[in-house]
């Protein structure tokens, strides 16, 4: 700020005493003016310096703002780098988890496959067990039916044997009575030899009787001497209506009844041994049972003995009507028939 000094100059007088004072005053004014000019210059420089200082302050502020901005940018960059690292770590963790999940899925698929295989195997085993159980039940039912049938046949055979025994005893008694009466008549008429019976024969006439269970044998006439009470004629037995067992064709499984097998073997041996024994043992069983036991599909025994129709050129099973060639082995048909009674497995299988 420039200060102005007003100098009041006295009126000019021609006095020469004021001349040095005026010179000094002019000098002082000149110095003052120079000082004012210097002050003005200094003020201008000061203002310029203040302007420069303000400009430098603004520049410094701008630099500070720029530094702060750079710091913010650097912080953001660091944050982004940290976030990027974190994202990379998370990505690696996700990949690891995905790989573990894929392995778990593979293991689960393997386990599911093994489980399905085990399940199928269990179902197959269960089906086999059910099938075996069904077969065992069917076999048990067949065995029970077979046993019941064999028991019935056994009862029928025992009944027939009792009847046959009674008839044989009756025929033997009648024959012995007829022989005794004939001998008495011949002794009375004097037509036969006068050989008298000994005391032992009179006391024990039961020894002259035939055993009730004996079969008519075809022996030579000269093998043993004929007694006076023995006859050379065959005994003809009149039998009642046939008592034929029911021949079942649905017997399927084997039977372990030893008694039935023994009876069957006895009947087979009797039929194969000859016609007279078959006539004595099986007159009431009919020709069907005899054909089944002998293995030939021929007519009744009466037709075979009396010269009936000729044997056909085949052998026929009386149960399933299956035909075999006549020249085939006889055991083949017997084995086939045994299979019907003891080894049949024709029960239909039902899969559950």
Cβ count near 245 (within 10 Å):
18
Tokens 């194969």 found at: 272
Question: Residue range 192-198: average pLDDT?
Answer: 46
Written as six digits, the tokens of 241 are 């209506």
Cα four-point dihedral sign 200, 201, 202, 207: positive
Q: pLDDT tens-digit profile of 104-121?
A: 999 999 999 999 999 999
Q: pLDDT tens-digit profile of 20-43?
A: 667 878 888 888 888 999 999 899
Cβ count near 149 (within 10 Å):
19
pLDDT tier at 306, thresholds 50, 70, 90: very low
Nearest Cα to Cα of residue 216 among 228, 203, 200, 233: 233
Q: How far apart are CA 253 and CA 143, in angstroms?
A: 7
pLDDT tier at 312, thresholds 50, 70, 90: low
Q: Where are the domains of the chain?
A: 255-347
pLDDT at 276: 47
Q: pLDDT tens-digit profile of 238-255?
A: 444 443 343 344 444 444
pTM over 0.75: no
pLDDT at 232: 40
Q: How far apart are CA 302 and CA 283, in angstroms?
A: 10
């Amino acid at each position: 700020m420039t200060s102005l000094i007003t100098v009041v100059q006295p009126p000019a007088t021609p006095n020469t005493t004021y001349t040095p004072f005026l010179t000094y005053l002019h000098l002082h004014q000149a110095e003052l003016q120079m000082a004012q000019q210097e002050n003005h210059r200094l003020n201008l420089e000061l203002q310029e310096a203040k302007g420069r200082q303000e400009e430098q302050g603004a520049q410094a502020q701008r630099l500070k703002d720029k530094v702060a901005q750079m710091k913010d940018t650097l912080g953001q960059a660091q944050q982004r780098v940290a976030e990027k690292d974190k994202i990379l770590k998370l990505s690696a963790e996700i990949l690891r988890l995905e790989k573990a999940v894929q392995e778990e899925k593979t293991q689960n698929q393997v386990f599911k496959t093994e489980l399905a295989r085990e399940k199928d195997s269990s179902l197959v085993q269960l089906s086999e067990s059910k099938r075996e159980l069904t077969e065992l039940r069917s076999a048990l039912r067949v065995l029970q039916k077979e046993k019941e049938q064999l028991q019935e046949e056994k009862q029928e055979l025992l009944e027939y044997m009792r009847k046959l025994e009674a008839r044989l005893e009756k025929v033997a008694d009648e024959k012995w009575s007829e022989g005794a009466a004939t001998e008495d008549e011949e002794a009375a008429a004097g037509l036969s030899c006068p050989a008298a019976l000994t005391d032992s024969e009179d006391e024990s006439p039961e020894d002259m009787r035939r055993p009730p269970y004996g079969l008519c044998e075809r022996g030579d006439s000269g093998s043993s001497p004929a007694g006076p009470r023995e006859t050379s004629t065959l005994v003809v037995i009149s039998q009642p209506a046939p008592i034929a067992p029911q021949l079942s064709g649905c017997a399927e499984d084997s039977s372990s009844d030893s008694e039935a097998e023994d009876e069957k073997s006895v009947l087979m041996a009797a039929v194969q041994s000859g016609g007279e024994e078959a006539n004595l043992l099986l007159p009431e069983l009919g020709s069907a049972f005899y054909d089944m036991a002998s293995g030939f599909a021929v007519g009744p025994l009466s037709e075979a003995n009396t010269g009936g129709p000729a044997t056909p050129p085949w052998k026929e099973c009386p149960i399933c009507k299956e035909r075999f060639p006549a020249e085939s082995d006889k055991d083949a048909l017997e084995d086939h028939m045994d299979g019907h009674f003891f080894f049949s497995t024709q029960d239909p299988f039902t899969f559950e």
